[in-house]
Amino acid sequence: MMKNQQVAVIGSLNYDLLLKQERLPKKGETFTADDLIQGPGGKGANQAAQCAKLGLSTSMIGKVGEDRFGDALIGSLQAFGVNVDYIGKKGTTGMGIVNVLPDGDYHSTLLRGANYLVTKEDIDRSLEVITGCQYILLQQEIPQSIVEYIIEKTRDAQCQIVLNNAPARDVSETSLAAVDILVVNETEAEFMTGCKVTSVESANEVAQNLVKKVKNTVIVTLGALGVVVATREESIYTPANKVEAVDATGAGDSFIGAFVFGLIEGYTLQKAIDLATSASSITVSRAGGSESFPTLRELEGLALSHYL
């Protein structure tokens, strides 16, 4: 395995409170949850954790609060082997309140907190480590102006820019044109194109539309239906692995981390997607956030050793 490869993740760090419950409460109703799981989260921290758990040299750039939740987030990433030297502290840590239903589906509410205190100066101070990485992973849980600033500052660097447009935002044509890999789910794909995604066929049409706006690759994740990938040369559909879903929290982040791992290891696009699909299937079959993400050994144990 190539140990010298690096990933820079610039994005959110949230402390998550996951409430497992039978259903959502109705308006004005008080409803009792069955269980509470708490721990690290945020799309940025999740993607960094998955990359590191698969053995990639990973740096996390972002902000947490000056509180115990921030300390816990930094500690969890350190435990996974993530470089946390570029995580600042200010204000209150971002929080995620997640309602997890019996089928594994979830509803999430975010408190932005310190995630929205990331500045251009923070990015400038981290620019050497960012541009020194092979892959840059971005999401939309920090200010949009900062995401676009990062893209502008790194568009001419020898890095692959991966943008997970989640939560969905309008992205300028100039920024999209500098993105190598765009990752969206059905809702985000619809937001970006105005076209509903209700099937593999409609997902492929949307992916073909979006790929004209980016450098090379668009990935549309479809939950239980699988994933559609479009490049300027080909289109790929990969069905999801059949598993008993326990908690889908972080499944998309696990997918992205594993996909980038596969690309860094030199896999074909199809094999990288297969690996990412397997990683996310393990994640949804277990409760919790980044603790549920698979390690490389676990993926090898899933009969994928012929890819590794």
Q: Which residues of 238-274 are buried (b: 16+ CB within 10 A; e: fewer)?
A: eebbebebbbbbbbbbbbbbbbbbbbbbebebebbbb
Tokens of 242: 């059949």
Q: Are 61 and 10 contacting, i.e. CB atoms less than 8 angstroms apart?
A: yes
- 122 a catalytic residue: no
Q: Are 55 and 304 contacting, i.e. CB atoms less than 8 angstroms apart?
A: no
CB atoms within 10 A of CB 301: 12
Handedness of CA 243, 263, 180, 13 (dihedral sign): positive
CA–CA dist 148, 130 (Å, integer): 14
Instruction: Give the Cα-Cα-Cα angle 173, 127, 71 (nearest 5 degrees).
Output: 105
The long-range contacts involving 26-35, CB below 8 angstroms and separated by at least 24 positions, are 33/99
- The catalytic position among 16, 247, 253, 274 is 253
The helix-helix angle for 43-53 and 251-264 (nearest 10°) equals 40
Catalytic residues: 253
